[in-house]
Structure 1
Amino acid sequence: MSTSISTASDLEQLLEKQRIREVVENWVVFRDSGKWEEFKSVWHSDGVMMATWFQGHFEEFIKVSIEGWNKGVSILHFLGGSSVELSASGTRAISQTKMTITQRGLVDGFECDVVCTGRFFDFMEKREGRWGVVLRQPIYEKDRINPLDPSANFKLDQDLLMSFPEGYRHLAYIQTKLGFKVKEDMPQLKGAAVEALYQRGRDWLNHA
């Protein structure tokens, strides 16, 4: 009997992790395709989005994303592997998903793609039978600038570039050039900020 109970428990955990993964994937598909009403469905009512260029409630994030969409701002996402840790109660989770953020825009007169690799670190909760995002905090690991024209000959402002954190300095560079105010203490691959985030995640799971 203990074996069957364990198997049933394992199966339910697997299903819950799959449901969480579906929320993460819907976030990217709905946001990047401009399906704003559907995009609202991945959040809980108190959901918060953290990004280099925005920090705040998800409804405000949607509002400024729509404004950017209508102005031609191009920010797209691509997902990789994921790891989901469930709380003992089964009502909270931390989901980490490998991702890239690609932003297209003019860098010193040349059209470029900035590609940033990192992870989405999501605080998830199951409320009334539905998983949703309570907090999305990206972790920025490394990035680069790719000119669309490989023969483009331009030189970045090194003083400005080096003033930004290593994990997202090229992304911060283009966003600053495009007029965004960039948050400069976001979690990266290593360091105090990401360690504090990991601890916050453990606390989230332990206090479910």
Structure 2
Amino acid sequence: MANKYNITAKETWPTRYSHINGTPEEILDRFAVSELCRAWPVYRDASEWQNYRDAWADKGSYLWTTWGGGVDIDDFIQISIKGREAGDFIMHRENGTLVELNPKNGRACGKMKATITQRFFFEKEGACDVECDCRFIFFCRKGTSKTGQPEWKLQYVKLFYEKDKVIPLDGKPLPDWDQSVLNKFPEGYRWLGAAQEKLGHNMLYDLPAFDNQGFWDLLKGMNLWLEGKDDEVVKALGVPGA
């Protein structure tokens, strides 16, 4: 009997772009994009806020997380600083990154396999880590720097949430969590969402997970981005003001 929760078996990326091998210029561009993607786990997790901000476009940069939808990058940095000051302990492990590149129009999508890991301390549920396997999707644009050199910048970031789990820190079984709370979230980030909600975050319940509408909308947005159809991209991603 097939698992009820799994990624669709059909092809999810039928359009072919530069993604492996290619010309030296294509390989260099894909490397530059993959370098941008690593700014998230390397710079953000270390509170290197200036370095983190350098990876993003000056204007119109938005990102989506479980607790924030369509947040401007500068607002996101301030929210992250306040969260860290309040004791939020969240880290990211990069598990591998590949890039889809359209060299004709200077567009790329970075696909970074990653694990979100956050530590929680609850009076009832006890101390635990929640880990969530996901794919960060980085929408990147090639432009020109102030010195006249070509440069890549991040415009949008949105995630596919694949599966998560709870790990008790003291070795004891965790008590049952409120199933009605867990059921509000897709299975891809069910435990992470419920735990973050306990901290008081305003959560999103319809982010991309296996085979939900958000999953297909994000795939559509990626293709539209690579085709350079900006007006349609903002609608597919739900960019504020679209």
The answer to whether the superposition gives a TM-score over 0.5 is: yes
More helix by share: 1
Counterpart secondary structure, 1:97: strand
Q: Which residue does 2:238 correspond to in 1?
A: none
Q: Which residue does 1:99 correspond to in 2?
A: 114
Q: Which residue does 1:18 correspond to in 2?
A: 31
For residues 76 and 134 of structure 1, the distance between their equivalents in structure 2, rounded to whole angstroms, comes to 22
Structure 1 residues not aligned, in runs of 5+: 1-8
Q: CA deviation at 1:178?
A: 0.7
Q: Does 1:192 align with 2:221?
A: no
Counterpart secondary structure, 1:63: helix
- Check 1:92–1:160 CA distance in 2 against 1; reply closer, same or farther (3 A cut): same
Q: CA deviation at 1:28?
A: 1.5
Which residue identity lines up with residue 51 of structure 1 in the other structure? T
> 1:110 touches 1:152 (CA, 8 Å); kept in 2?
no
Q: Which residue does 1:38 correspond to in 2?
A: 51
Q: Which residue does 2:101 correspond to in 1?
A: 86
More strand by share: 1
Q: Does 1:66 align with 2:94?
A: no
Q: CA deviation at 1:191?
A: 2.4
Q: CA deviation at 1:163?
A: 2.2
Structure 2 residues not aligned, in runs of 5+: 1-21, 145-149, 230-242
Q: Which residue does 2:129 correspond to in 1?
A: 113
Which residue identity lines up with residue 64 of structure 2 in the other structure? M
Question: Percent identity of the aligned residues?
Answer: 33
Which residue identity lines up with residue 125 of structure 1 in the other structure? R
For residues 191 and 175 of structure 1, the distance between their equivalents in structure 2, rounded to whole angstroms, comes to 21
The root-mean-square deviation of aligned C-alpha atoms, in Å, is 1.6
Q: For 2:202, which of 162, 181, 199 is the aligned residue?
A: 181
Counterpart secondary structure, 2:205: coil
> 1:79 touches 1:100 (CA, 8 Å); kept in 2?
yes
* TM-score w.r.t. length of structure 1: 0.91
Which residue identity lines up with residue 52 of structure 2 in the other structure? F
Q: Does 1:134 align with 2:155?
A: yes
